[in-house]
Amino acid sequence: MQFEEKKASALNAVRSRIDQFHAALIVTEEQVRGLLSGSSKTEDDRSEALGYFAKGKVNMERFNTFAPKVRRLENDAEAPVRAAQAVLKSLLAEGDDLFIVDMQDGKGLGHSLSVKLAHIGRAFAAARVVDLAKNGAYKEDKHAATPDIALLGFYRVASSFIAEMEILQCHFKEKLLVVDFNPEVFRELKRQGIRVVYGDISNEQTLHHAGIEEAKVVVSTISDDILVGTSNMNLIRQIRHLAPQARIVVTAVNRSQALKLYEAGADYVLRPNYLTGRHLLEVLERLLREAHSERLRLAVASTTTPENVTVLLSETVGAEGLTWFDVIAAGDMVERKKPAPDVYLLALERLGLDAADCLVLEDTEAGLASARAAGLATVITVNGATRHQDFTGALLVVDQLGEPGHPMEVLAGDAGGAGLVNVELLRQLHAAT
């Protein structure tokens, strides 16, 4: 059977569900048009809308009894409702392609499915906006202060940023603005007292409505492999148009993309994987030297590229440090990246060791899941971006590896009263598994 025949057969197998979903999109889009029509028409407009021959001949008071006027939208709701309409129309225009998953280059099936589900999920977010607007429940702070910082999209890094604000007791929540299209994010940030605008960051009208024109810094902490409907490059163009004075911070997945974003006008480009790896190596430097002196076998199992690992090691422990590692296993050497176990399985294979003979140091939830799936016991040292992630199953979770005079804080597990992670403690933890 040819590909097109297989695709048609698969679509026909779920045709009734697809038709139901499309019907729901159509009904919701009709509701949007009704809301927008009701928000812009006067009583005279309604009479005129009845048609030329009915104009002046219909008793509008009696007509309104049978056809009450659609609720007029609150001013705050009109722009988000129009953004919701644009989303619904774009999803409808995709037809059956909306339900077909395209495997992305270098990405696994799980990632491609996540991207597709997030894309389809925009329909539910749009429907929620419409529901709130219909009930007059979509409100925004009309007298909110002009934001100093605007966060476009809300994901792990942005969440950690706000969590760190809480820990450090930074008092500029009233100057922070978040724009996101997730109902859960909207409710939670409102609960925390953070100004949030409900809308699609790919829509320039949404950003205009949010008021980012006066922001001093505009930040996108979401990389292109997670963003839906836009890219960091597009966001730079939109921000430059709306807020030419703002400093722009965006996110890249690799060095080459970061350079392109700088060329496009970004003032700073975040590379979360690089920063995480650099942080981990900096805190590991003491431990690496100790492990090398005790002739322990060392390996790197990283999501980043071998080139990045080499740069990080050279900058942290010097060129000599590169010779300490028997194996460097990197994300582009395997089919699936963390949280899949592939990179750890590759490292074990090249070391010629069993998982039971090894211990892993990680600092992310995805890294822990990857290591555990490979059967490896794991110690976690958190950082600002991962402090609030779920590390269930780790042998030990600490805020840092600790130094003499600056002990670590144990967040989970038992360090036996130790104030720092060293080879002796790692041996004790491994022996207890």
Per-residue confidence band for 262, with pLDDT thresholds at 50, 70 and 90: very high
Per-residue confidence band for 43, with pLDDT thresholds at 50, 70 and 90: very low
Q: Which CATH homologous superfamily contains domain 273-431?
A: HAD superfamily/HAD-like (3.40.50.1000)
- The pLDDT value recorded for residue 184 is 73
How far, in Å, CA of 376 to CA of 23, rounded? 48
Residues carrying CATH 3.40.50.1000, the chain:
273-431
How far, in Å, CA of 323 to CA of 330, rounded? 17
* Residue pair 234/201 in contact by the 8 Å Cβ criterion: no
CA angle 11, 14, 18 (to 5 degrees): 85
Query: pLDDT of 154-180, one tens digit each?
Result: 766 666 666 655 555 555 666 788 888
Comparing C-alpha atoms, which of 122, 116, 318 is closest to residue 206?
122
pTM to 2 decimal places? 0.46
Architecture of domain 149-270: 3-Layer(aba) Sandwich (3.40)
The backbone torsions φ and ψ at residue 396, rounded to the nearest 5 degrees and listed phi first, read -155, 140
DSSP H stretches of helix in 327-383: 342-351, 365-373
- The pLDDT value recorded for residue 68 is 46
How far, in Å, CA of 410 to CA of 397, rounded? 6
* Residue pair 393/167 in contact by the 8 Å Cβ criterion: no
Query: pLDDT of 335-363, one tens digit each?
Result: 888 999 999 999 999 999 999 999 999 98
Residues carrying CATH 3.40.50.720, the chain:
149-270
Query: pLDDT of 123-141, one tens digit each?
Result: 776 777 777 777 766 655 4
**Pairing outcome for strands 359-362 and 410-413:** unpaired
Q: Which two tokens mark 2? A: 């040819």
DSSP H stretches of helix in 198-271: 204-210, 232-242, 255-263
Q: Does 379 score more than 90 pLDDT?
A: yes
Reduced to 3 states (helix: H, G, I; strand: E, B; else coil), residue 217 is strand
- The pLDDT value recorded for residue 102 is 73
